[in-house]
Amino acid sequence: MIILIGLPGSGKSTVGRLLARRLQLPFVDSDSAIEQRLGCSIREFFEREGEARFRDEEQALIDELTQAAPCVLSTGGGAVLRPANRQCLRERGRVFYLRSSPEEVFRRVQHDRSRPLLQVADPLQKLRELYAQRDPLYRETAHHVVETGRPSVASLVNWIAAQLELQRAAPKPIHTSEASL
């Protein structure tokens, strides 16, 4: 399982779709999956039930998705907020953190009204706060950090695919109990 994490608007869904196509794997966007399950948009659910209730639903879904068939999984930006999610993601897949600065993300999403956490008076400041809170959690969860600032989406997909290929080609570590000393 290949898992993409990062701030809202960091490119997880865009990169994920292309990566899945390249690797001939299904693509799953956890935000879309949770909206299907809830029967409404994340924004509506946030407004009606609150963030804590949403995070409960998200945690259950991440647990299920990471035990399903291999795929490329794009998570919601806040999926790393719960320790159980971080552990689940890191242990059950190869995690790539698509790291974008708050300013880069703001340029990409400033007109997107579907992101509930960014519907505030100063969305750039909100992104800076989210980054300060979440960057250490993304780094804790990720096996690889991918800087998304300059490279094209195709370049990002190529880099991730190369890392996966290197991982497959690397010799498996020998456990002391199996080695002949």
Does residue 10 have a known ligand-binding role?
A: yes
Question: Reading across the β-sheet that carries 72-74, which strands appear in turn?
Answer: 27-29, 72-74, 2-5, 94-99, 144-147
Does residue 53 have a known ligand-binding role?
A: no
Q: How far apart are CA 16 and CA 150, in angstroms?
A: 18
Domain boundaries, the chain: 2-162
Q: How far apart are CA 77 and CA 7, in angstroms?
A: 5
Does residue 6 have a known ligand-binding role?
A: no
Does residue 55 have a known ligand-binding role?
A: yes
Beta-carbon count within 10 A of 66 CB: 20
Does residue 112 have a known ligand-binding role?
A: no
| Residues forming beta bridges with residue 144, ordered by sequence position | 96
What pLDDT sits at residue 142?
A: 97
Does residue 176 have a known ligand-binding role?
A: no
What pLDDT sits at residue 108?
A: 80
Does residue 149 have a known ligand-binding role?
A: no
Q: What is the pTM of this model?
A: 0.88
What pLDDT sits at residue 48?
A: 93
Does residue 141 have a known ligand-binding role?
A: no
Q: Is CATH 3.40.50.300 the classification given to domain 2-162?
A: yes
The DSSP code sequence of 66-82 is TTSSS-EEEPPTTGGGS
Q: How far apart are CA 164 and CA 143, in angstroms?
A: 11
Weakly modelled stretches of the chain, pLDDT under 50: 174-181
Does residue 9 have a known ligand-binding role?
A: yes
Helix intervals (H) in 50-180: 51-65, 83-92, 102-109, 123-141, 153-169
12 CB contacts (<8 Å, ≥6 apart)?
Answer: 4, 5, 6, 29, 74, 75, 98
What pLDDT sits at residue 95?
A: 97
